[in-house]
Amino acid sequence: MPNHSKHEIPCPGPLRRAGSLLPCLLLAVPCLFGPARAADLLDLPFDDLLQVEVASAGKREARIRDIPASVTIVTREEIARYGYATLEDLLRNVPGFFILDNTEERFIGNRGTVGGGVQFLVNGIAQHPSRQKGLTVPEIARLNIPVESIDRIEVIRGPMSVIYGNNAFLGVVNIVTNALDISGSRLSVSAGSRDSGQAFARLGGRSREGFLVLNAGGWRTDGLDGAYTDMMSPAQLAALEPGMHRDLDGDLWQRRGSLDLSAGWRGLTTDLRYSDMDYGIYAFTPAFDKGNGLRLKTLHAALGYAYRFSDTLGLRLTGIHSQETYDAYRLDFLVAWLDGSQKQHSRRWELELNLHWQPLERLNALFGYRWRRLDHLDNRARARPFVVLDDATADFQQQDLFTEIDYALVERLRLVGGARLTRLPASYRFSRYKHLEQTLTETEVAVSDRNLLTGRVGALWSLDSSQVLKLIWGNAAQDVDKFRISDPERIETLELNYVRTRPTWTLSASLFENRTSNIVRTIQTLNPVTGDYVVAFDNSGRWRTQGLELIAEARPWPALNLSLSATWQRTDDLRSALEPGYSPSLLLKLKADYRRGPFTYATYAHFVDRLESDWDFVSGPVEGVVERLGESVPAYWNLGLNLRWEPASKGVFAALNVSNLLDAEIRYPASELTDFARGLIGPGRIVTATLGYAF
Amino acid sequence: MALSALSAFGGTAVEPLKVAYLYHFTHFIGWPDLPPGAPFVIAVIGDPVLAEALRALERDERRVENRPIRIRTIETRETESGLQCDDCQLLFVGAAAQDRIDRILDAVAGRAVLLVGDSPGLARRGVAINSFLKADILGEGERLRFEMNPAALAGRGLKVSSQLYEVARVLP
């Protein structure tokens, strides 16, 4: 067996000389492990040598070609070159993605629609389910990952429910924060406009048998500051009460902290992630006093065990527990004397078993089983004298069986097919206790079809070693948080993707069509008592999105990188002539960077086309009166610059980043929460300076 | 294809790993009638990066059959004028020399030289041991594996341990 003592290495000199307690603590972890040295390989028993993994760097192009989907990979090197301040900033610059803000939530849009839809994984661990029956918890916590901790992101577009279950609707974003071969221990601090700043530390070390990575980060900003006169209609302004704030300045502050630990020893791995966000939100009306506060805490704990019976048979067992608490405190809207809160909570327990089998060189098979339990789903609202209620969703379980087969029919043609059967609960049960009325209502909604089947098939035809043509069909499901609707939303995608990778350039082109059904939408129903039409929900919505994506990257010289992407899409509501909201026709992304000596000069820009808000029915005695929540907001360009000084891969580095350099007016269309007729004004020019040290 | 956590073990650069494999191969193979006092010579053609990595064996004073290891680089163009590898015990054929494999085979025909390569299809063309990268069954990276061609070993007088065959993909 390997001798651990042989892999201990002395602490690096510069830090040993620093002599303070902090550097010693920082070094404790790396020195426990230390990197495996090449010379040690010579003394390994041959059986152990056979298990040594080859570094994966440089496999980016191969991954883009081999994964049966349209794929974008963002590397640590690229993140550093462009100096994105947050994960949100990074995703805004991913081809085909756009992000909307309603102050409480960040809606990630992709291929024509927003909200839910994208399954986030951190180090392969699926994050807390974003859609929970009877809850309205935002999904923003999944973005609370310090961008400095990210070693690599893989964005996979299209329905991926076969592998990842419900909610991998429009794609998957896999965020890797534990790749020590990409980046080791380091520290950084940033400060910028709007009193923004962040601090980040990574400690990590590895040996041949284990690794440990700890990422800790904090981020703060004063947030958006738009004036209501620039966002509201004259009617909305006229309705403001005396004492209400006249702008958002000071109301949308944010404080974010996160800690993630990833460790492994032999076949065992553990991933712990804790996210704590405290931030101000806008809710329906301007605030009177200190504004509304929202605290969102998320905890993930995963334990995995992988065992390889041989090169052709392996097993992975993963257990996950996660929980999320939502605490909207110091409610401050509607009337000056309002005092209230809203607390929501949910927990997940999950066990997944994956069996990987390669009976033939050209045949790979995955068989999986997942058991999931969701419990402690509760929602407690306190806003006397208007509402005091306790909602609760009874615990429920789901079980999934899934498989995916990958078969090379001939040398140049691979076929991939998979299916997933999800056994839904027989019914969902809810209770609501209204304290003011002292009434208890219990509701049970039966699930019409408990067997939910999703599938995916694809053919990958390698025209030569650098070109591949992918034809993919797949469908997926997405849970609905409305408790009176049991059926999940569905999507079906047909896509043709062409990829060509050359040493100095890469091209990807996709033609796609999404057909989305069971979409929850607002409808009108007649109240026979009052004679008025009132707003309710059903799930009869059907959309069709057709689009084209082009992504081109080039490295004409080793020091110069260029990239361009364009996404055209059109979404139609197949149930009405109403154009769906939040669906830009055109998205453009441009990037260029040049390295000379220790300096990297980078510029990037993204264009988001005009956006409409969603539709809403107007309650009252007339049927079918609909209007947008707000006006359309104009298209915009967001241009960024980044200057990075990094004389060596280890040691001091510094960066200066300017986002929205031209201070362009960015507006997000009205939503239920931020119903500004002219849209919410987004961030202006932000200047951020960063200083760091890589060990 | 499931996305897995990119292994934080991080992996090892492939050249040091190939060096370790080559070094281990020498322990599973016996060379007959090695000249007394001569070093054990590993020659490399068509892969200067690996040749440089192999020099770690010299620096580390590693030995095979109780002889010091010496690394020799052979230029690919030497195959034009007749490859001289009389003192070699192991010859590594890199990707840049794979097109010259027939000339290389002629040059070492019938001699106790272990031919090793790392290019697709090279074992079928007469190289005894050919390494390749194989994706991990759990999708956590790749590992180095090798195929062996028993016919390419026949007639060279090399004694090969059955243990090597047990972990190799053996060509029929």
Quick: pLDDT tens for B62-87. 999 889 999 999 988 887 777 888 88
pLDDT tier at A54 (50, 70, 90 boundaries)?
confident
What percentage of chain A carries pLDDT values higher than 90?
73
Q: Which residue of A has its CA nearest to B59?
A: A39
Q: Do B11 and A181 touch (CB under 8 A)?
A: yes
Asked if the structure places residue B7 within a domain, the reply is no
Asked if the structure places residue B56 within a domain, the reply is yes
| CB contact B4 to A (< 8 Å) | yes
Query: Counting Cβ atoms within 10 Å, is residue A185 exposed (0-12), middle (13-18) or buried (19+)?
Result: buried
pLDDT tier at B12 (50, 70, 90 boundaries)?
low
Asked if the structure places residue B2 within a domain, the reply is no
Q: Do A271 and B5 touch (CB under 8 A)?
A: yes
Q: Which residue of A has its CA nearest to B55?
A: A39
Contacts of A360 (CB under 8 A, 6+ apart): none
User: Do A523 and A620 touch, CB atoms closer than 8 A?
Assistant: no
Residues of A in contact with B62 (CB under 8 A): 42
Q: What is the pLDDT of residues A39-51, one digit of tens each?
A: 678 888 888 888 8
**Do you find a cis peptide bond into A385, omega within 30 degrees of 0?**
yes
- Cα distances from A411 to residues A48, A90, A461, A463, in angstroms, run 32, 37, 9, 11
Residues of A in contact with B10 (CB under 8 A): 35, 53, 55, 179-182, 206, 211
Contacts of B31 (CB under 8 A, 6+ apart): B65, B89, B112, B157, B158
A298 alpha carbon, distance to own chain's centre: 14
Average pLDDT, whole number, for chain B?
Answer: 88
| CB contact B78 to A (< 8 Å) | no
Question: Does residue A672 surpass a pLDDT of 60?
Answer: yes
Q: What is the mean pLDDT of residues A491-515?
A: 95
Question: Does residue A122 surpass a pLDDT of 90?
Answer: yes
DSSP β-ladder status, A636-645 and A651-659? antiparallel
Q: Which residue of A has its CA nearest to B25?
A: A46
Asked if the structure places residue B112 within a domain, the reply is yes
Q: Do A308 and B141 touch (CB under 8 A)?
A: no
CATH value at residue B136 = 3.40.50.2300
What is the Cα–Cα distance from A570 to A590, expressed in whole angstroms?
22
Q: Measure CB to CB from residue B8 to each of A178, A306, A416 and give the nearest one.
A: A178
Q: Do A42 and B57 touch (CB under 8 A)?
A: yes
| CB contact B67 to A (< 8 Å) | no
Question: How far is the alpha carbon of B21 from chain A, nearest alpha carbon, in Å?
Answer: 8
Window from A109-113, A254-258, B120-124 with minimum mean pLDDT: A109-113
Q: Do A179 and B16 touch (CB under 8 A)?
A: no
Question: Does residue A57 surpass a pLDDT of 70?
Answer: no
Question: Does residue A19 surpass a pLDDT of 70?
Answer: no
Whole-number pLDDT of residue A59: 62
pLDDT tier at A99 (50, 70, 90 boundaries)?
very high
Residues of A in contact with B139 (CB under 8 A): 356
Q: Do A262 and B4 touch (CB under 8 A)?
A: no
Which domains does chain A show, CATH number per domain? 53-501+510-571+593-694 (2.40.170.20)
Question: Does residue A508 surpass a pLDDT of 90?
Answer: yes
Scanning B117-156 for CB atoms below 8 A from A yields 133-134, 136-145
Please report the number of interchain residue pairs, chain A to chain B, with beta-carbon separation below 8 angstroms: 153
Query: Counting Cβ atoms within 10 Å, is residue A503 exposed (0-12), middle (13-18) or buried (19+)?
Result: exposed
Q: What is the mean pLDDT of residues A349-368?
A: 95
Interface test with B, best of A311, A362, A414 (most B CBs within 10 A): A311
pLDDT tier at A82 (50, 70, 90 boundaries)?
very high
Asked if the structure places residue B166 within a domain, the reply is yes
Domains contained in chain B, number = 1
| CB contact B95 to A (< 8 Å) | no
Q: State the ipTM, two decimals.
A: 0.90
Question: Does residue A644 surpass a pLDDT of 70?
Answer: yes
Whole-number pLDDT of residue A693: 97
Question: Does residue A17 surpass a pLDDT of 70?
Answer: no
Average pLDDT, whole number, for chain A?
Answer: 90
Q: Do A53 and B6 touch (CB under 8 A)?
A: no
Whole-number pLDDT of residue A56: 55
| CB contact B60 to A (< 8 Å) | yes
Window from A25-29, A504-508, A527-531 with minimum mean pLDDT: A25-29
What percentage of chain A carries pLDDT values higher than 70?
93
User: Do A653 and A693 touch, CB atoms closer than 8 A?
Assistant: yes
A453 alpha carbon, distance to own chain's centre: 25
Structure tokens that stand for B100 in this block? 């010259």
- Cα distances from A507 to residues A313, A477, B22, B122, in angstroms, run 35, 30, 38, 31
Residues of B in contact with A176 (CB under 8 A): 5-6
User: Following CA atoms A642, A645, A649, A652 in sequence, which dihedral angle do they give, to the nearest 10 degrees?
Assistant: -120
What is the Cα–Cα distance from B123 to B170, expressed in whole angstroms?
10
Question: How far is the alpha carbon of B138 from chain A, nearest alpha carbon, in Å?
Answer: 6
Whole-number pLDDT of residue A503: 85
| CB contact B63 to A (< 8 Å) | no
Question: How far is the alpha carbon of A649 from chain B, nearest alpha carbon, in Å?
Answer: 17
Scanning B30-59 for CB atoms below 8 A from A yields 56-57
Question: How far is the alpha carbon of B106 from chain A, nearest alpha carbon, in Å?
Answer: 31
Residues of B in contact with A68 (CB under 8 A): 1
**Range of the structural domain that residue B160 is part of:** 14-170
Residues of B in contact with A123 (CB under 8 A): 5-6
Question: How far is the alpha carbon of A283 from chain B, nearest alpha carbon, in Å?
Answer: 38
Q: Measure CB to CB from residue A51 to each of B1, B62, B143 and give the nearest one.
A: B143
pLDDT tier at A560 (50, 70, 90 boundaries)?
very high
Whole-number pLDDT of residue A29: 40
Q: Measure CB to CB from residue B56 to each of A39, A262, A404 and give the nearest one.
A: A39
Which has the closest alpha carbon to A296: A320, A323, A262? A323
Q: What is the pLDDT of residues A479-502, one digit of tens each?
A: 888 888 888 999 999 999 999 998
Question: How far is the alpha carbon of A38 from chain B, nearest alpha carbon, in Å?
Answer: 6
The 3-class secondary structure across A272-336, one letter per residue, is: EEEEEEEEEECECECCCCCCEEEEEEEEEEEEEEEEEEECCEEEEEEEEEEEEEEEEECCCCCCC
Whole-number pLDDT of residue A38: 58
Q: What is the DSSP string of B92-128?
A: EE-GGGGGGHHHHHHHTTTSS-EEEE-STTTTTTT-S
Q: Do A39 and B24 touch (CB under 8 A)?
A: no
Question: Does residue B129 surpass a pLDDT of 90?
Answer: yes
Whole-number pLDDT of residue A8: 30
Q: Do B8 and A41 touch (CB under 8 A)?
A: no
Question: Does residue A37 surpass a pLDDT of 60?
Answer: no
Tokens 């002395």, residue?
A10
Asked if the structure places residue B133 within a domain, the reply is yes
What is the Cα–Cα distance from A420 to A472, expressed in whole angstroms?
16
Q: Measure CB to CB from residue B138 to each of A176, A204, A356 and give the nearest one.
A: A356
Q: What is the mean pLDDT of residues B124-153?
A: 90
Question: Does residue A575 surpass a pLDDT of 90?
Answer: no
The number of helices, as runs of H, and strands, as runs of E, in chain B is: 6, 10
Question: Does residue A7 surpass a pLDDT of 60?
Answer: no
Asked if the structure places residue B85 within a domain, the reply is yes
Interface test with B, best of A37, A47, A53 (most B CBs within 10 A): A53
| CB contact B162 to A (< 8 Å) | no
Q: Do A125 and B5 touch (CB under 8 A)?
A: yes
Q: Measure CB to CB from residue B11 to each of A53, A271, A358 and give the nearest one.
A: A53
Q: What is the pLDDT of residues A227-254, one digit of tens each?
A: 999 999 999 999 999 999 999 999 999 9
Whole-number pLDDT of residue A652: 97
Q: What is the DSSP string of A566-603?
A: EEEEEEEETTSSPPPSS--SEEEEEEEEEEETTEEEEE
Q: What is the pLDDT of residues A280-289, one digit of tens each?
A: 999 999 999 9
Q: What is the mean pLDDT of residues A439-467?
A: 94
Q: Measure CB to CB from residue B6 to each of A44, A54, A152 and give the nearest one.
A: A152
Question: How far is the alpha carbon of A154 from chain B, nearest alpha carbon, in Å?
Answer: 9
Q: What is the CA radius of gyration of chain A?
A: 26
Q: Measure CB to CB from residue B12 to each of A52, A68, A180 and give the nearest one.
A: A52
Question: Does residue A153 surpass a pLDDT of 50?
Answer: yes
Q: What is the mean pLDDT of residues A660-679?
A: 96
Q: What is the mean pLDDT of residues A560-570?
A: 97
Which has the closest alpha carbon to A346: A319, A383, A373? A373
Residues of A in contact with B137 (CB under 8 A): 308, 310-314, 356-358
Q: What is the mean pLDDT of residues A348-353?
A: 97
Question: Does residue A269 surpass a pLDDT of 70?
Answer: yes
Q: What is the pLDDT of residues B29-59, one digit of tens each?
A: 999 888 888 999 999 999 999 999 999 999 9
Question: Does residue A215 surpass a pLDDT of 70?
Answer: yes
Window from A22-36, A361-375, A585-599 with minimum mean pLDDT: A22-36
Q: What is the mean pLDDT of residues A67-91?
A: 93
Question: How far is the alpha carbon of A151 from chain B, nearest alpha carbon, in Å?
Answer: 9
Q: Do B3 and A172 touch (CB under 8 A)?
A: yes
Q: Do B136 and A314 touch (CB under 8 A)?
A: yes
Higher pLDDT pick, B157 / A209: B157
Q: What is the mean pLDDT of residues A578-585?
A: 92
Asked if the structure places residue B8 within a domain, the reply is no
Q: Which residue of B has its CA nearest to A175?
A: B5
Question: Does residue A58 surpass a pLDDT of 60?
Answer: no
What is the Cα–Cα distance from A452 to A252, expressed in whole angstroms?
41
